[in-house]
A and B are shown apart, each in its own frame.
Chain A
Amino acid sequence: MSFVLYILAALTVAGGLAAVLLKNTVHCALALTVAFAGLALLFLELDAQFAGFAQILIYIGAVAILVVFAILLTRGSETPKGSAYSHSPLVGLVIAACVFAVLGWAVLHSTAQLPPGTTSATPTVTVADIGNALMTRYVLPLEIVALLLTAALIGAVIVAMHEKEGSR
């Protein structure tokens, strides 16, 4: 079974790498969608059907499109003249590497404490269950998220609103 995991992981990581490394911004965005799709598949692999589909719907359907729009609106679609990287990118890379080292180290050394994945039976979670949970136990977070989304909506509109000429 973990064979599938390897493939999906490879796909996701490749997508992520591409998204970070490619020179052309739009290609980056497209690669990002690949990474998202890989993640969604990973979710499905983890029996998180709803989360997986939500991932596809929101990230590929909305966020990716949003990114693409932003790229086009900021004329970022044509490949930049100079280097695609900011000043002294190596430093950043090193730091990222350090982070990965720490995380990986932590994961590998805590395998013993982690719950053994193989034993736990596949949970059967229907969408109805999730709905019930959302409406009962997680109703407060739900409300808060709703509020946040509304605020974000309005905020985004106001921020990106095209202010009248002359008010510049």
Chain B
Amino acid sequence: MIEKADQIFVLLGHWLVSFLPAALQQPALVLLAVVAIIVTFPALFAITVLLERKGLGRMQNRYGPNRVGPYGLFQPVADGIKSLTKEDIVPLSADAVVHFLAPVLLVVVVFMGYAVLPIGRNMTLVNLDAGILFFFAIGASSELSVFMAGWSSRNKYSLLGAMRAVAQMISYEVPLLMSSLAVVMITGSLNANRIVDAQNQYTYGLPHWYIFTPWGFAGFLLFAVAATAETNRSPFDLPEGESELVAGYFTEYSGFKFALFFLGEYVGMMGISGLGTTLFLGGYSAPLQVLGFVPSWAWFIGKIMLSMCVFIWVRGTLPRLRQDQLMNFAWKFVLPLSLLNLFVAAAWRFMGQGFLRWVVCSAVLLIAYVVMARVGMKREHFGPRSYRYAE
């Protein structure tokens, strides 16, 4: 019974395609899965948006949306309708083609990322041997769409926003990769399923998630920071800092294209949290052995939503950084730490079983953290700002 509940979607898919001729079954199955993904995550997106607006509202002592439907539950629907029916404005001087392609590319890319995430047991769309690499490769190309959006709309704010976004994404992609590399190194595979399997085992009913190791913990924190920056979330949301440049690279977007950007951003967030879940939080595995009866996909979704809540919470809490602080933080703190984390993970791997490696690894990481926080992140006092262009 539990097995059934766990595999329900898989079985459902097989049952559905069983009506087709054998030749078409495999493609049809894939198609079904794709459709499922494309339906599920926007739905989650809607929920998240509502959650965010309400949650932020509460954090700021407001009600948040509460007019549409009971407790404003239908707010997302209203938003959807609005953005669909809104007039789509394209600036006269804009580069129409690129301006149109940008959001499309973003959404496509973002959804492609889900192809390799194990959403549940036997629920990976394509079980790629180099899955994690694929995810990063795809993620990297989302920078392009951001740039296209910013450049094509011929607007200083957009261009600045795009430039900021791209620079920030590039700088934080490195630590993102590095911190995930530790996991890949330990697992010895780039395959998402293998990584989850490696964590999907229990001693005394406690899971073997990587977050419960010193390097894993550090790696997860670094990953979280880098992911937040990668998705331009507050406190790293300079590219769309309202107070500085109206809405960053999608200033000139309206109507459905804007909605697409919005969608892209959130689905991207979910995707990257999915990756983080897969890498550090044991993917679809249950946090306790006794909870094994809950279907795996539920765990995965649950973990994603949890991390979304964390995103929202952070956004409601932290103030925005300054550009130079952002860059310094990336290159002088996050990157070195994640590099060190790699070495620590290697040490962990080769120090055999036993208590010693816990002490050593944690000690190294802690010391490094403290030292670099003290030395590297000293607050500098800047003279008057000097703006530089490549004249």
Contacts and interface: CB of A to CB of B under 8 A. Distances in A.
Any A–B CB pair closer than 8 Å: yes
Interface of A: 26-27, 30, 33, 49-50, 53-54, 56-57, 60-62, 64-65, 68-69, 72-75, 77, 126-128, 162
A44 B190 CA distance: 17
Given A49-B129, A53-B137, A73 B143 contact: no
B183 to A, nearest CB: 14
B208 to A, nearest CB: 21
Interface stretch (B12-20, B46-54, B144-152): B144-152
A57 B136 contact: yes
Contacts of B136: 57, 61
Contacts of B138: 56
A60 B141 contact: yes
B41 interface: no
B134 interface: yes
Contacts of A60: 137, 140-141, 144
Given A50-B133, A56-B138, A65 B128 contact: no
Interface of B: 98, 128-130, 133-134, 136-138, 140-141, 143-144, 147-148, 151, 159, 163, 166, 170, 173, 188-190, 388-390
A72 to B, nearest CB: 7
B140 A56 contact: yes
Contacts of B98: 26-27, 30
Contacts of B144: 30, 33, 60, 64-65
A21 to B, nearest CB: 16
Nearest to B134: A53
B141 A56 contact: yes
26 contacts: A26-B151, A30-B144, A49-B129, A49-B130, A50-B130, A50-B133, A53-B134, A56-B138, A56-B140, A57-B136, A60-B141, A61-B136, A61-B140, A61-B141, A62-B170, A64-B144, A65-B143, A65-B166, A68-B147, A68-B166, A69-B163, A72-B151, A72-B163, A74-B390, A127-B190, A128-B188
Contacts of B151: 26, 68, 72, 77
B128 A49 contact: yes
A70 B388 CA distance: 15
B99 to A, nearest CB: 12
Nearest to B163: A72
B343 to A, nearest CB: 16
Contact of A61 (B134, B143, B148, B163): B143
Contacts of A65: 143-144, 147, 166, 170
Given A74-B390, A127-B190, A62 B140 contact: yes
Contacts of B134: 53
In the complex, which of the residues A26, A27, A62, A65 has the most CB atoms of chain B within 10 Å of its own CB atom?
A65
A75 B391 CA distance: 9
Contacts of B173: 61
B137 A57 contact: yes
A30 B148 contact: yes
A60 B137 CA distance: 8
A56 B137 contact: yes
A99 B190 CA distance: 41
Contact of A126 (B129, B143, B166): B129
Nearest to B146: A65
In the complex, which of the residues A56, A62, A77 has the most CB atoms of chain B within 10 Å of its own CB atom?
A56
Contact of A57 (B140, B170, B389): B140
Nearest to A68: B147
A162 B389 CA distance: 10
B1 to A, nearest CB: 37
In the A-B complex, list the 9 residue pairs whose CB atoms are closest, starting with the nearest: A61-B140, A56-B137, A73-B390, A57-B137, A53-B137, A53-B133, A60-B141, A127-B130, A127-B190
